Amino acid sequence: MQTEEHNPPKIAYSIKEACKASSLGRTTIYSHIAAGRLVARRIGGRTVIPAESLRALITGEV
C-alpha cells in the first residue's frame, strides 16, 4: 500500500531552510537581508523568508 503525502508548496522558509534550498550560506543570506535584496519577516520568535523573495534573489529579479 502506497501512501501519498500532500505537502502544500512552501510559502516561507526559515533561515536554515533558505540556506538549504538555495545552497547559500547563512552569512550570505543575512548579507542579502541587510542589503535589502532579500525580504525577511519576524513572526513570533522566528525569522522567515517569503518563498517569492528567495526565488527572486536566485533568478536575478532583485
Residue 4 maps to a domain? no
Which letter does DSSP use for residue 60 in this model? T
Residue 2 maps to a domain? no
Question: What is the residue range of 29's domain?
Answer: 12-59
**End-to-end CA, the chain:** 45
Q: Is the pTM of this model over 0.85?
A: no
Residue 46 maps to a domain? yes
Per residue, the 3-state secondary structure of 3-45, as one string, reads: CCCCCCCCCEEEHHHHHHHHCCCHHHHHHHHHHCCCCCEEECC
pLDDT tens for 20-57 read 999 999 999 999 999 999 999 999 999 999 999 999 99
pLDDT at 5 over 80: no
pLDDT at 1 over 60: no
Residue 3 maps to a domain? no
In this predicted structure, what is the pLDDT of residue 45? Answer: 94
Residue 49 maps to a domain? yes
Domain tally, the chain: 1
